[in-house]
Copies of this chain bind each other. A is one copy, B any other.
Amino acid sequence: MKRTTDLALPHIIVIGGGFGGLTFCRKFPDGLARITLIDRQNHHLFQPLLYQVATAGLSAVDIAQPIRAILADKPNFQSLMADVCGVDLQNRRLQLCGGLATHEIHDELTYDYLVLAVGGVTSYFGNDDWAKLAPGLKSLDDALKIRRQILLAFERAEIETDEAKRKELMTIVVVGGGPTGVELAGTFSELSRTVLVRDFDRIDPRAARVILIEGTRRVLATFPPDLSESAERQLKKLGVETRAGARVQAIRPGEVELSDGEVIRAANIIWSAGVAASPLTRKLGVEVDRAGRVKVEPDLSLPGFPNVFAIGDMVTLTDKNGVVVPGVSPAAMQMGKHAAKIIAHEIKEQIRPGGVAREAFAYRDKGSMATIGRSKAVAQIGRLHFSGYPAWLAWLFVHLVFLVGFRSKLSVFLQWTYSYLTYRRGARIITGAHGAPPANSA
């Protein structure tokens, strides 16, 4: 069904269909502007549950929804799947990658307002050669790759007769003790001890080692110290070895070297230690920090370009209350809402971009939580600190409520219930070009 788009309306382009970009589109009032959302993927990804795809708990489809479907009913809205390679801020025009801009869709690529919400990428702090040896977890493809690698390692261990090699195959090193690292380490350990343990004959999956490496002095460094301690205790109960205060010196095929000289042999190395802004930010010609994040004005606009906003993980900002805004999804959503409010007001009142004083963004910290395993989590809501079962229930509730789409909610709820009752995982499927494990290569 072709929707009619009113081309006389001001045009807003949003780049990125993550939490920030999607919230902007949802919150922007209908009828004031036509909106074009451009993303290189066709889906919005529910990032907080991505680790569950990597650990075979959920399928890719459960945590992703086509952007077109989410916003199918919004008038004067269109979605384009394309890769943006540059922005001409002076002429208010986008360049698509691969010459697609020459296809005479100029109308779609020229904007009155631009909202940049391109998010982050895995950062190896200059050691880009580590990317191949220690995959990060930012996209569905990353998650499927990690799932495939870990499940294949256990299959290979099952036919491996060399004791040292078998141990190596059954060792998982997670680098970075933030929420994602903690969630991955806890869930991998649980997967091997409660799920895989029933299926293998020659190996004992309970002997699998999961080692979590954190550079600072405690895991979940952004959480209150008592919750970090609780998280470490809960991880220990699951069999995870935590190395706080340990830095990675080098990563080589099959091994990680720490700064104290220790070498850990491991066939599986996952990187969750660093995030940088998408490379697009360095092409904008505006000031960025070391991680490539754009330094925005208090109203979230780009310095010198009041008609361009940047929101979410690609931004570095100390808000009007002096709070450094963290790179988390609630912050991205709040920023999307803030930008929508400002732009809607200016269009409605026919004010030129930045023609009136704008409200400064203020981050509202609604708390933070991390799950560690079955009935194991930590949560902080204001001054309240939870651990264990109550925190885990709160985590389940919040993630189900925010998961986009009724179908996904139902499917995820049913799979969680099933896994909880049966200690089974449904998504233990290895896909990828070659089925059988490659021989003689760790």
Contacts and interface: CB of A to CB of B under 8 A. Distances in A.
A84 to B, nearest CB: 9
A72 interface: yes
A160 interface: yes
Interface of A: 1-3, 5, 39-43, 59-62, 64, 66, 68-69, 72, 77-83, 96-100, 103-105, 108, 139-141, 144, 151-152, 155, 158-162, 197-202, 204, 407-408, 410-411, 414-415, 418, 424, 426-433, 435-440
A197 B430 contact: no
A384 to B, nearest CB: 36
Contacts of A60: 59-60, 429, 431
A72 B435 contact: no
A81 B428 CA distance: 13
A375 to B, nearest CB: 21
A66 B418 contact: no
A41 B408 CA distance: 27
A82 B436 contact: yes
A202 B36 CA distance: 12
B410 A159 contact: no
Counted per complex, copies of this chain come to: 2
Nearest to A80: B159
B97 A436 contact: yes
Contacts of A204: 1-2
B140 A424 contact: no
A140 B59 CA distance: 14
Contacts of A68: 199-200
B199 A72 contact: yes
16 contacts: A41-B430, A41-B436, A42-B155, A43-B429, A60-B60, A61-B429, A66-B429, A69-B198, A69-B428, A81-B155, A98-B440, A103-B160, A141-B433, A411-B411, A411-B414, A411-B415
B144 A431 contact: yes
- Closest A-B pairs by Cβ, 8 of them: A98-B439, A68-B199, A83-B436, A59-B61, A40-B435, A81-B155, A78-B201, A40-B436
A110 to B, nearest CB: 15
B438 A202 contact: no
Given A414-B410, A428-B42, A429-B60, A100 B159 contact: yes
Contacts of A158: 80-81
Contacts of A407: 415, 418, 424, 426
